[in-house]
């Protein structure tokens, strides 16, 4: 296939070698070329996810020797992890940068992007609406992370998950507790149920009960008082007293579980700390915890980012890139999210998003444009941090 001569779009691989996902696959590149982009990918970008240089070339991509060499001439950049300082300094004003930008935890980086005149589109800010579902990368990655968390835990557990009747006796099914039943948690439940485990799950959102039960799991009843849903279906943060009640009620369930998968998160905040040291110490040696919320701080007091540790015989896994364990599929859905995002937000006549658009999705994801930060929450965070620095 011949290369396109349109504005240049560069795919940037993740910063961390443990993350094997890519923002552009050969299949998505074909669609990006159809949208008018000249797609550039660094050599070997997709090898760890199962995509070869030849696959990219056949899809019409230009292979470039390095990101550093190609970044200044890029009109659009797609990234998996937030851009490094080095990358930001090399971006030309007006370049579109789309990806996971971690705006709430690192608002300073968003200011850098605004100051550099970058047009940034944040995947974290895709609205949770039916129309935006095809761009919802938080969901596409969470779903695969939930699946991967169970497969990983099953592999680390020295027990089988399903009940088995053998001539030598009956093996009882493993007990799995899933804490947080959003997209990742529900996929973890579905996977664990399919593998034959006995699954109990808990979420603060009252609507979660029905979804959990429809997957064949038991919903743990824990009364922590009022826990209504926030905007977009997200959970509201519990008070310190409510969290304490929750921990006390969950302690017994933890002690009975062979595997715990934690996925509880609060949009724009640190993940709630739910499984404390004493709860881990109450578990049976050999049990496994996968803290799937570690990328936003973790739900388990003892989890270490990027490590598998053992505490009194209980394995605690803190992999922040769970979806990358199925990197080919995770990349395919992420790349498809990018194709839909660019199709929806970029005006084909200008190959730029319209900053004055009334469209809910464009207004949601467009984080910086023309030197300004468009999201009020990030501006407020920056103001409060600069006030904090002055006092």
Q: Cα-flanking dihedrals φ and ψ of residue 150, to 5°? A: -70, -45
Q: Which of residues 112-141 bind ligand NAD (CB under 6 A)?
A: 128-129, 133, 136, 138-139
What are the CB-based long-range contacts (under 8 Å, 24+) for 309-312? 311/277, 311/280, 311/281, 312/280, 312/281, 312/285
Question: Are 354 and 49 contacting, i.e. CB atoms less than 8 angstroms apart?
Answer: no
Q: Cα-flanking dihedrals φ and ψ of residue 373, to 5°? A: -95, 120
- Of 12-20, 62-70, 116-124, 259-267, the window that binds ligand NAD (rule: CB under 6 A) is 259-267
Q: What is the CA radius of gyration of the chain?
A: 22
Q: Does 235 interact with ligand NAD (rule: CB under 6 A)?
A: yes
Q: Does 102 interact with ligand NAD (rule: CB under 6 A)?
A: no
Q: Does 343 interact with ligand NAD (rule: CB under 6 A)?
A: no
Q: Which of residues 160-179 bind ligand NAD (CB under 6 A)?
A: 179
Q: Does 261 interact with ligand NAD (rule: CB under 6 A)?
A: no
Going by the DSSP 8-state scheme, the letter that residue 36 receives in this structure is: T
d(CA 186, CA 182): 6
Going by the DSSP 8-state scheme, the letter that residue 105 receives in this structure is: T
Q: Does 19 interact with ligand NAD (rule: CB under 6 A)?
A: no
Q: Does 217 interact with ligand NAD (rule: CB under 6 A)?
A: no
Interacting residue with ligand NAD among 203, 319, 329, 375 (CB under 6 A): 203
In the bound state with ligand NAD, the residue whose beta carbon lies nearer, of 33 and 178, is 178
Beta carbon of residue 129, minimum distance to ligand NAD (angstroms, whole number):
6
Residues in the chain: 391
Cβ-based burial of 231 (10 A; exposed 0-12, middle 13-18, buried ≥19): exposed
Active site residues: 128, 133, 136, 139, 234
Q: Does 329 interact with ligand NAD (rule: CB under 6 A)?
A: no
d(CA 115, CA 230): 32
Beta carbon of residue 313, minimum distance to ligand NAD (angstroms, whole number):
25
Reduced to 3 states (helix: H, G, I; strand: E, B; else coil), residue 137 is helix
Q: Does 95 interact with ligand NAD (rule: CB under 6 A)?
A: no
Contacting residues toward ligand NAD, per CB under 6 A: 128-129, 133, 136, 138-139, 142, 179-185, 202-205, 208, 233-235, 238, 246, 263-267, 272, 274
């Amino acid at each position: 296939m011949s290369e396109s001569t349109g504005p240049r779009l560069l795919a940037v691989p993740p910063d961390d070698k443990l993350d094997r996902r890519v923002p552009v696959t050969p299949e998505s590149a074909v669609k990006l070329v159809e949208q008018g982009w000249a797609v550039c990918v660094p050599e070997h970008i997709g090898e760890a996810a199962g995509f070869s240089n030849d696959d990219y070339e056949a899809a019409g991509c230009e292979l470039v020797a390095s990101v550093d060499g190609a970044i200044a001439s890029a009109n659009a950049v797609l990234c998996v992890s937030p851009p490094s300082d080095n990358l930001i300094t090399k971006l030309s004003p007006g370049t579109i940068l789309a990806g996971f930008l971690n705006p709430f935890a690192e608002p300073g980086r968003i200011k850098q992007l605004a100051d550099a005149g970058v047009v940034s589109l944040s995947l974290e800010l895709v609205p949770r609406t039916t129309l935006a579902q095809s761009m919802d990368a938080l969901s596409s990655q969470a779903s695969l992370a939930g699946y991967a968390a169970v497969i990983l835990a099953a592999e680390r557990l020295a027990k089988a998950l399903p009940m088995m009747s053998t001539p030598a006796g009956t093996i009882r099914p493993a007990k799995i507790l899933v804490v947080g039943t959003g997209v990742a948690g529900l996929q973890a439940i579905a996977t664990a149920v399919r593998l034959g485990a006995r699954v109990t799950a808990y979420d603060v959102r009252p609507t979660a009960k029905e979804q959990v039960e429809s997957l064949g799991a038991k919903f743990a009843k824990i009364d922590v008082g009022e826990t209504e849903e926030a905007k977009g279906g997200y959970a509201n943060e519990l008070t310190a007293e409510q969290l304490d009640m929750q921990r006390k009620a969950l302690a017994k369930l933890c002690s009975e579980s062979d595997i715990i998968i934690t996925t509880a998160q609060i949009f724009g905040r640190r993940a709630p700390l739910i499984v404390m040291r004493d709860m881990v110490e109450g578990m049976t040696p050999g049990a496994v915890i996968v803290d799937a919320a570690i990328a936003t701080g973790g739900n388990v007091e003892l989890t270490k980012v990027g490590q598998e540790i053992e505490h009194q015989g209980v394995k605690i896994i803190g992999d922040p890139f769970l979806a990358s364990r199925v990197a080919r599929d995770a990349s395919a859905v992420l790349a498809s999210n990018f194709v839909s995002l660019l199709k929806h937000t970029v005006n084909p006549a200008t190959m730029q998003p319209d900053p004055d658009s009334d469209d809910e999705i464009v207004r949601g994801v467009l984080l910086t444009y023309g030197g300004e930060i468009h999201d009020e929450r990030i501006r407020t965070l920056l103001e409060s941090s600069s006030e904090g620095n002055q006092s």
